Amino acid sequence: MCSSWKVLSDDNGRQILLLLKNKGIIPTQIANQLEFTLPAVSTNLRIFKESDLIIEKKKGKNRYYSLSRSTTSELAQYFDDMYDYKLKSLKEYVENKVSKERMG
């Protein structure tokens, strides 16, 4: 399994993931919208599947790809936790500074 973090480091891959966020889409639509080659799209989709970032659903002869909400939610939660920590630290710093100014 590939690391989700490594996959997200690729600009083209991130563009593809943004297309997949709202609905299932077939590879030729991705290639056309982003002006990528179909082999490049297929390579990215394979890597995303190995990383559990996307879900593949077969309908007739087409394969539709969409984001895996569980995996992408885990990534989003990581950033929420990281920024929440930073905001709490900033709040404590400001409160301590204000408190010191009132005392001094």
* Cβ-contact 16, 44 below 8 angstroms: yes
Domains of the chain, residue spans: 1-67, 69-104
Average pLDDT in the 72-83 region?
71
Tens digits of residue pLDDT in 3-59: 666 777 888 988 999 899 888 999 999 999 999 999 999 999 999 998 888 999 999
Q: What is the mean pLDDT of residues 70-74?
A: 72
Pairing status of strand 62-67 against strand 54-59: antiparallel
Mean pLDDT calculated for residue range 73-94: 69
**Please, what is the Cα angle at 59 between 61 and 54, to 5 degrees?**
110
* Residue with the two structure tokens 């920590």: 85
At 7 the pLDDT is: 72
pLDDT of residue 3: 65
Q: Which CATH topology does 1-67 take?
A: Arc Repressor Mutant, subunit A (1.10.10)
pTM of the model as a whole: 0.68
What is the gyration radius of the CA atoms in the chain, in angstroms? 20
